[in-house]
Structure 1
Amino acid sequence: MTDMDLQSSNYESHAVESGTLYIVPTPIGNLGDISQRAIDVLANVDWVAAEDTRHSKRLFDHLGLRVRSLSLHQHNESQRSELLCNHLRNGQSVALVSDAGTPLISDPGYVLVQHCREQGVPVTALPGPCAAITALSASGLPTDKFQFVGFLPVKQQALNEAVKALAAAPLTSVCYESPRRVTATLNALAEHCAKGQQIVLAKELTKAFESYVSGDAETILTWFEEDERRLKGEFVLMIAPAPDTDQAISPEALALLQALGGLLPPKKAAAVVAQHYGLKKNSLYKLLITDN
C-alpha cells in the first residue's frame, strides 16, 4: 500500500453513508478485537440488524452505544430482509451483525445481502474477526489453499460422506463444530482419515483459555475423554490435506495387495491391506482394479 493509499483510507470519522448496508464483524471472544471503524458505524447507523438482540446488547452496553436494533435470524430472515431493504431504499442506513465474528460466515445475512444486491442497494463489508481464519492462521497446517465448509451434516450417513470428502481433499479443510456433535465428527474422521493425517482442533479463540490440540482424531478424542469440561464451547476443526497416496504405499503393502488380489474380491483385499498398513481403502481398491 502506498502513502497515498494509507492517507486516503484514514478518512474523517469513518462516515456512514445513507441508504447503505454495512456488514460489521464483532469479536469472537476478546471484546478488544472490535475495530474503531466498526464502533463508528454501529454508533451512526439508523438500524442494527442483529442475530440475537439480547446477545448483541451486551456488546453495545460495553461500548457505551445506544442503538436501534431488530432481530434477523434464520427463522425470520426473509421477512426482515424485505423490511430492511425498504428502510435502505428510503435512505436509512443499516448495520448487520451476528452473535460473533463475520456475518454470513455460517451465520444469517445471505438473504439480506442478496436482496440488497438485486435491488441496487449499496453494501459495504468491514474487515474483522472470523473464527475460521483466526484458527487456520495459527494451526500449523498449509494455508496456501484451503476450503471452508461451515457446519457438517447432523445425520450419520451424510456426515460420513462429508468427512470422507474432507479426508481425501488435496487442501486444508476448515469446519465448525458444536459441543454436541464434535465427538461424532471426530469418530467419523478417525474412520476415514489416512494414518498420520493431522487434525487440529481450536477452541475458546481469543479468550483466556484458548486451546489448540493437534494430532490424529484418536488423539483429540482422548484429550476430550481426559476432561469432559473440555467439551464446552465452540470448536473449529481443521483437517490436513490428504497425503500423497502413491508415496504412502510401501513396497510391502503393494506386494500384499497384489497377493491378496488374486485370492479375494478387490474390495475385500483393499480393506485388509488398508487396515494392516493404515492406508485408504478406496485408493487401494482403485489401484488394484487398475492393475487388473
Structure 2
Amino acid sequence: MYIVPTPIGNLLDITYRAINILKKVDYIITENIKHTSILLKKFSIVNVLLSLNICNEHKKTKKYVNMLQSGSNIALVSKAGTPVVNDPGYLLIKESYYQKIRIVPLPGACAAITALSASGFKTHQFCYEGFLPNKHTACEKKLFSLYNETRTIILYESPKRLIKTMKLIKKIMGENRKVTIFKEITKKWENIQHGTVKKVLSTIKNEVAWKKGEITLVINGSNPIKPNIISKKAFKIFHILEKIMQKSTAIKITAKICGFNKNILYNTIIKKNIT
C-alpha cells in the first residue's frame, strides 16, 4: 500500500512519483472521492476510487486489507496533504502492518510542516496538536497545558473559531507571545500574518477574508524561565475576593496586592483547578 500525499492547494505541488503511483495502482482509497476526482482529471489519471472517511473507517478497513492480501496494489490519499495526519487511515495502516502488508510512504505536501518552515520560529523541535477541543473549557485547559511548552506549537483551526481561539491564547499565554497564522497556504488567496498575539489579532479580527478558508496556526514556544512561586497568602486573598466578585477581577486585585504578574497567577489558579 502506498501512502500518497496530494497538494494542499496548488495542484502543481504534486510530485512526479505521486502521479506515477496513482496511475499504476489497482485502486485509490480516498477521504473525499469528489475532491480527488478533480486532482485525477487535472493529470489525466483514470483509476477506481474507493471511500475511506471517519464515518466508514472501521467498516471498510477489513475489506481493504483483504484486497491488499489478495495482491492488489492500493494508494491511500486524503482530501489534501499527507494522509493520516489529522485524517482517516491510521486503522488501515495499523492493520496492514499486522497482516505483514508492505507500506510505502511517499514524501509530499503537509500544511503543518509547510507552515512550520515559514513560521520564523525554531524548527529543530516542535509539537503538532491538530485541532483544539470544541468545548470552551476543554480548549482553555489544552492551551494552559501548552503554556510552558518550549517547542514550537502547530495547530489547525476553523476560521469560524479563529478569533475566539486567538483571544484565548492572548488571555492564557499573554498578548506578547509570538504567532504566525497561515490562511489558505499555497493557494491563490494565501495570507500570512506574523507578530505578537496582540498585533496579529488586531490585524485579522475585522477582516472578512479571515472568516473563510483553512487555517494553520503556529505559536512560538515558551522561554524556559523559572516559575514564580505563588504564596499561600496570595491564594488566601484570592479565595476571599472571588466570593464577592468575578474571578478575573479577583485575580487582577490579588496580583496587584501581592506583586505577581496577573497571567502567572491566572495560569497557576487554572492549573490547580485542572489537577
TM-score tier by shorter-chain length is 0.7 to 0.9
Letter in 2 for 1:32: L
Q: Which of 237, 247, 255 pairs up with 1:264?
A: 237
Q: CA RMSD in A?
A: 2.7
Contact residue 167 and residue 239 of structure 1 kept, 8 A: no
2:178 pairs with one of 198, 205, 210: 198
TM norm structure 2: 0.85
Matched, 1:220 2:200: yes
1:207 to 164, 167, 187: 187
CA drift at 1:220: 2.7
Question: 2:11 aligned to 21, 31, 54, which one?
Answer: 31
Q: Name the residue aligned to 1:121.
A: 101
Q: Do the aligned residues in 1 keep the contact of 2:154 with 2:216 (CA within 8 Å)? A: yes
| Residue of structure 2 equivalent to 1:99 | 79
How many residues matched? Answer: 258
| AA in 2 matched with 1:281 | L
Gaps (5+ residues) in structure 2? 242-249, 270-275
After the TM superposition, which residues 36-75 of structure 1 pair with which residues of structure 2 at under 5 Å, given as runs? 36-75=16-55
Segment of structure 1 superposing worse, 266-275 or 118-127: 266-275
Letter in 1 for 2:255: V
Q: Hey, what's the Cα distance between the residues in 2 that align with 1:145 and 1:48?
A: 34
Q: Structure 1: which amino acid aligns with 2:63?
A: L
Matched, 1:187 2:187: no
Deviation at 1:278, TM superposition (A): 6.0
- 2:265 equivalent to 1:281: yes
Cα displacement string for residues 134-166 of structure 1 (whole angstroms, at most 9, x for unaligned residues): 000000011111100111100111100111122
- Provide the secondary structure at the position in 2 that maps to 1:54: helix
Identity of aligned residues (%): 33
The one-letter code of the counterpart of 2:144 is: K
- Matched residue, 1:11: none
Distance 1:277 1:124, change over 3 A: same
Q: What's the TM-score, normalizing by structure 1?
A: 0.80
Structure 1 regions of 5+ residues with no counterpart?
1-20, 286-292
Give 1:225-264 correspondences, 5 Å limit. 225-246=205-226, 261=234, 264=237
Q: Equivalents in 1 of 2:126, 2:188: separation in Å?
A: 28
String of CA shifts for 1:24-70, please: whole Å, max 9, x gaps: 00000111110011001000000000101011000000010001011
Q: Which of 112, 130, 134 is matched with 2:92 structurally? A: 112
The change in CA–CA distance for 1:87 and 1:279 in structure 2 (over 3 A counts) is same
Change (3 A) 1:243 1:278: farther
Equivalent position amino acid for 1:236 in 2: T
Provide the rounded CA distance (Å) in 1 between the counterparts of 2:91 and 2:117: 29
